[in-house]
Structure 1
């Protein structure tokens, strides 16, 4: 399994940041690997909501269906899967002031079948991708 984690400050109140990120379709704005992300069910965003995420990695396009597994005032958990990988994204939030939130973002990828043998060779690329998320997410959230 590959796990990457970043912690950074976002200049938004905690509630606004959680509301923005709970709609995983916004990954198009803050995740440099996401090409497209669309909701595939209806109703309010709550645990059980699902999105089809199309990502580009190493020149290849792949699709995962993500599900909001849990949501509370201080944490969002999304799980995405396809036949090759299961990705778990955990976002934790801590108010630092009335206008700023400290966010920890952890992405864990568990490859399936033969793909799991590629993990050691992919780790550095996922670290680079996590660096880009850390740079992009705060400004994308504030611009929203």
Structure 2
């Protein structure tokens, strides 16, 4: 799923905010809890324990920041039934705003793969909600 939208935060500040995946609690309606599992600066290799709720069920994934560049963040999450990849690309749209293109990919493992086509519309709906909530959360954090 991919969404592109404007966030009223300069690119460097938006990258810094979103690099801390713990903020997903604020902008991802599926995230119940997201806690950093290490210490030190947020850089590639940093990890978070994420608890998400989808269709009334909770699941835990470990997310790792795979890449942090001035114009892109890449996170990978995994557990025994799913692997997730989140790619966030940042482009200045004005001196005080950023165009964020957010691509989230999910791959189910084993028997769970059978359900994947049936869940697409629900994941698309979740992506719409992220596109609504993320700018509000980032702007509130920045402001």
The yes-or-no answer on 1:107 pairing with 2:104 is yes
Deviations along 1:18-58, one digit per CA (max 9) or x if unpaired, are 00000000000000000000000111000000000000000
User: Which of 77, 93, 96 lines up with 1:96 in the alignment?
Assistant: 93
The yes-or-no answer on 1:82 pairing with 2:99 is no
Superposed, which structure 2 residues align to 1:1-144 within 5 Å? 4-144=1-141
Query: Matched residues in 1 for 2:14 and 2:31: separation?
Result: 19
Query: Matched residues in 2 for 1:97 and 1:120: separation?
Result: 38
The Cα shift of 1:96 comes to 1.0
Q: List alignment gaps of at least 5 residues for structure 1.
A: none
The Cα shift of 1:17 comes to 0.4
Aligned length in residues: 141
Q: List alignment gaps of at least 5 residues for structure 2.
A: none
Query: Matched residues in 2 for 1:74 and 1:98: separation?
Result: 15
The Cα shift of 1:80 comes to 0.2
What's the RMSD between the two structures over aligned residues? 0.3
Query: Matched residues in 1 for 2:133 and 2:36: separation?
Result: 22
Query: Matched residues in 1 for 2:129 and 2:94: separation?
Result: 25
